[in-house]
Structure 1
Amino acid sequence: MERNDGGSGRRAFEPLDAAGRERLAAHAARLVPGLEDVAGVALTWVDTSGITRTKTVPVARLEHAAAWGVGMSPVFDAFLLDDSIVSGQYAGGPVGDLRLHPDLDRLVRMAALPGWAWAPANRYTQEGHVHPLDTRAALAREVERLADLGWSVRAAFEIEWALSDDEGDGFTPACNGPAYGMTRLTELSQYLRDLLNALAETGVSVDQLHPEYAPGQYELSVAAEDPVGAADTAVLVRETIRAVSFDHGMVASFSPKVLADSVGNGGHVHLSLWREDPAEGPVNAMSGGHEMFGLTGEGEAFTAGILARLPALLAVGAPAVASYLRLVPSHWAGVYGCWGLENREAAIRLVTGALGDRARAANIEVKCFDEAANPYLALAALLAAGRAGLAAKAVLPEPMAADPASLSDAERADLGIERLPDSLADAVAAFEADEALAEALGPEIVDTVAAVRRGEIELFADATPEEITESTRWRH
């Protein structure tokens, strides 16, 4: 799904004036005749806890909503995953109002929900200014900052989910075949067929779909696109999966940990850094260079900036207490702060792609993130970390060519490899101390993220792993 300038955010988050509102209303008016079979449009945003929230408008009100927005309380930024509310310096409490404006460039019919359309919402104040806690806008700002330096990023999320056909709140795997086995495709072939068809009708470009390791678990990969588009697609794919699953009498869980004694759902992020060459066109900085494994100097610096900040980045990429039940050594979760060529135990895996296709396909995969993350905030923080690496001309340490857990503590120490935070509290402390992320995201987001994370830590302070998984299984 290629996006034009308005959809990518380079002018989508300017203050709204009278002329801007007129343009938005006119755009909506052009779309309405093509939505005759649609009853309502779901406008979504993702809160600090990583939960997709929504308000809807009838199609007849789309023109008004585009120009003037839909009212909502700013309190949602302070929601915990159980819908309780904390209070930070910039969020929480009953006072105030915001306006949700649909991004009309991204509006699509939801094939999995006949009669419904969907659009991601941009959040503005009543005065027409971007809400400082709008994470979609924060991501668009990071895209612009990189563009000002001559760079762009292609991104994609891997979506993992586990299917249950339990009629209650428990989890009973909806299929019984072995990990990665063809049996799982055969068992749920009609469901998977309907899912692929629904995504295709919605305009999502699926690269691959396969059974995963855990009971009832699948994974879907989509084509890379601009970062704002990638985050939008992550939301749309998950809601499509959820809808098709319900339609087939099943429930999909995207929780980092579905069962306490099993592997969890990851939300791996793929990133590649690009520049425009006057003679060659788009050039991938992750390939064709003279550094390790073909990285260019800029590709290495971008990657090194992310690697150095992974402890802090976990506060947005592995943001739930349940996330740290998933981050277990030797489970392909990337719990050690290292990188390596095609190493699925390293926190950052360099993916070169097949020989002959590397100029297009080479990218890095951040493996320690999961789907409790707000995808807009996660990508904004990753881009900020990469940009800091570019500014510092950061250099990567030696790559890791084995499972770091197979080394002794002394061997890892000699290589400078440290365990990433094993608790949400430690990740939050690193996040608050990181100056580059603070400068990029702003005090409102940093304070609110910390407040919400501490609220969840307190919520589960005395909970067992089983209680944590039961409480979070169906929230994301």
Structure 2
Amino acid sequence: MTTLADPVPGGRPGDVERAGALAAELSGRGVRGVVLAYVDTAGVCRVKTVPTGKLPAAAEWGVGMSPVFDTFLAHDSIVTTDVLGSPDGDLRLYPDLDALVALAAQPGWAWAPVDRITQEGERHPGCSRTFLRRLVADAERRLGITFRASVEVEWSLGLDSARDGAFVPAVEGPAYGATRQVGLSDYLAELLEAFAQQGVEVDQLHPEYAPGQFEISVGALDPVGAADRSVLVRQTVRAVSARHGLRASFSPAVTGQGVGNGGHLHLSAWRDGGNLHSGGRGPYGMTADAEAFTAGVLARLPALCAVTAPSPASYLRLRPSQWAGVFTAWGRETREAALRVVTGSEGHRDRAANLEVKPVDLAANPYLALGCVIAAGLDGIASSARLPAETTGDPVRLGAAEAAARGVRRLPESLAEAVEEFRKDELLRGTLGPVLADAVIAVRRGEIEAARGLDDDRVAAAYRWVH
């Protein structure tokens, strides 16, 4: 469970004492340093580290870091907004002690996500973790709705010995094939052991479709916890990969052609202990609120792409007939639809039913992605939205008239198109607030300029090892 309260200068009641006890425990286990991690607007995990003995000081007064990183591009160029991107100012990083964990694959290190506040003790309007925590807390307070979420993590595993940053698959074999599992048996077993030691519940770990590609599915948590877990999973995959002479890429596309890496979101809304996606009278057992939530997300998918598919490389992945979900369509267990309604097996639906959002990749900041998707769904509930007709099969096969009648249209085919949709969406921009919304637009436009003139192969190469 994640900490629900904002940090304050001097520490929340009991935090400093607790941090001292945790530091002593970690030191006794040989942990020498703590990684303080957050994700910037470009989807890059940025860190500072402190010696383990300084954890109480971090809990009391935070650790300094410039706000300029909110407008860093993926390759560390800096863009500006009216309030971000200058060399001025400082923020304080406060670790969430509830989420602190010793890193099994990095002996001597622990890890914790952070919230960022100003030196005056005010919330930083660019902190995506604080944004998500406050959004879900408000939904619970106003509507009595809580959420369970998880982020699928796909990665392409290459040989670290490959020259000039090339991608050479670490293992041969067919999609989902036993050959891949056997070939990297020790690697995969070490991953499972590391996750078990870190308290990460693994549901599935398997070879995926593309060359050298794998996927892990983990247990659902509250949205902030799910975003934290997504960041921790990637930290762990990178570390275990390095120990085996391998290199993991979570980029949406490691090559100019073929199937890329997704980061599908799974979400379910709950009230009074009941799953709103099961036991209702709507499509496939959805309650009216679950249907309205799904319809709200569907209606805003084009604008959401600026947050969920935020890299020029994202649009190498978002291609028809590759199970990426590139049309505004929904369907039960329809893997070509952007929204896949997952009912679960008979007898398990009250716990398993959820909504999968497919046009999402791991260049996305998971806190922003989950927050904006939830905001879109909550707007659907507020307007009592209803779903259009379900789409089965591949939406690309629909004729123009039928697609128009169903409201099925192609999602943005470029980051520029997605940014324009986002710019016009007052709800999403208003939910993020002007500082975060302007940062999203500025960073995306910066990435567009950085990739201008590059062909698909060069775009893939440029972002291959960033995420």
Give the TM-score normalised by structure 1: 0.96
Task: Give the alignment of 1:284-363 within 5 angstroms.
Answer: 284-363=275-354
**Which of residues 124, 128, 142 in structure 1 aligns to 2:117?**
124
1:259 Cα offset (Å)? 0.9
Deviates more, 1:109-118 or 1:28-37: 28-37
2:397 is matched with 406
2:193 is the alignment partner of 1:216: no
Please give the root-mean-square deviation of Cα atoms over the aligned residues, in Å: 1.0
SS at match of 2:18: helix
2:434 is the alignment partner of 1:474: no
Q: Given residue 439 of structure 1, which amino acid in structure 2 is its aligned partner?
A: G
Tell me how far apart the structure 2 counterparts of residues 228 and 358 of structure 1 sit (CA, whole Å): 24
2:155 is the alignment partner of 1:161: yes
User: 5+ residue gaps in structure 2?
Assistant: none
Give the TM-score normalised by structure 2: 0.98
Call closer, same or farther: CA 1:159–1:151 in 2, change over 3 Å: same
Q: Is the contact between residue 257 and residue 316 of structure 2 (CA under 8 Å) also seen in structure 1?
A: no
**Which of residues 232, 236, 242 in structure 2 aligns to 1:240?**
236
2:142 is the alignment partner of 1:146: no
**Which of residues 423, 426, 435 in structure 2 aligns to 1:432?**
423
Tell me how far apart the structure 2 counterparts of residues 292 and 8 of structure 1 sit (CA, whole Å): 35
**Which of residues 408, 419, 425 in structure 1 aligns to 2:410?**
419
**Which of residues 248, 255, 259 in structure 2 aligns to 1:259?**
255
Q: Is the contact between residue 99 and residue 125 of structure 1 (CA under 8 Å) also seen in structure 2?
A: yes
SS at match of 1:118: strand
1:439 Cα offset (Å)? 2.2
1:181 is matched with 177
Tell me how far apart the structure 2 counterparts of residues 57 and 22 of structure 1 sit (CA, whole Å): 22
Q: Given residue 397 of structure 2, which amino acid in structure 1 is its aligned partner?
A: S
Q: Is the contact between residue 38 and residue 45 of structure 2 (CA under 8 Å) also seen in structure 1?
A: yes
Call closer, same or farther: CA 1:26–1:166 in 2, change over 3 Å: closer
Tell me how far apart the structure 1 counterparts of residues 134 and 359 of structure 2 sit (CA, whole Å): 24
1:205 Cα offset (Å)? 0.2
Tell me how far apart the structure 2 counterparts of residues 439 and 27 of structure 1 sit (CA, whole Å): 37
Task: Give the alignment of 1:32-43 within 5 angstroms.
Answer: 32-36=23-27, 37-43=30-36
Tell me how far apart the structure 2 counterparts of residues 8 and 27 of structure 1 sit (CA, whole Å): 13
Q: Given residue 102 of structure 2, which amino acid in structure 1 is its aligned partner?
A: R
Tell me how far apart the structure 2 counterparts of residues 166 and 143 of structure 1 sit (CA, whole Å): 40
1:414 Cα offset (Å)? 2.4
1:360 Cα offset (Å)? 0.4
Q: Is the contact between residue 72 and residue 443 of structure 2 (CA under 8 Å) also seen in structure 1?
A: yes
2:55 is matched with 62
Q: Given residue 150 of structure 1, which amino acid in structure 2 is its aligned partner?
A: G
Deviates more, 1:20-29 or 1:289-298: 20-29
SS at match of 1:124: strand
Tell me how far apart the structure 1 counterparts of residues 186 and 401 of structure 2 sit (CA, whole Å): 51
2:68 is the alignment partner of 1:75: yes
Deviates more, 1:362-371 or 1:428-437: 428-437
1:8 Cα offset (Å)? 4.3
Tell me how far apart the structure 1 counterparts of residues 284 and 377 of structure 2 sit (CA, whole Å): 19
CA offset digits 1:69-99 (Å, max 9, x no partner) = 1111000001001111111122102111001
SS at match of 1:346: coil
1:66 Cα offset (Å)? 0.8
CA offset digits 1:220-245 (Å, max 9, x no partner) = 00001100000000000001000000
1:416 Cα offset (Å)? 1.6
2:191 is matched with 195
Seq. identity, %: 56
SS at match of 1:336: coil
1:246 Cα offset (Å)? 0.3
Tell me how far apart the structure 2 counterparts of residues 95 and 86 of structure 1 sit (CA, whole Å): 14
Q: Is the contact between residue 21 and residue 68 of structure 1 (CA under 8 Å) also seen in structure 2?
A: no
1:411 Cα offset (Å)? 2.4
1:199 Cα offset (Å)? 0.6
Deviates more, 1:73-82 or 1:432-441: 432-441
How many residues are matched? Answer: 462
2:362 is matched with 371
1:125 Cα offset (Å)? 0.3
SS at match of 1:359: helix
Tell me how far apart the structure 2 counterparts of residues 412 and 263 of structure 1 sit (CA, whole Å): 25
2:265 is matched with 269
Q: Is the contact between residue 309 and residue 364 of structure 2 (CA under 8 Å) also seen in structure 1?
A: yes
Tell me how far apart the structure 2 counterparts of residues 146 and 301 of structure 1 sit (CA, whole Å): 15
Q: Given residue 196 of structure 2, which amino acid in structure 1 is its aligned partner?
A: A
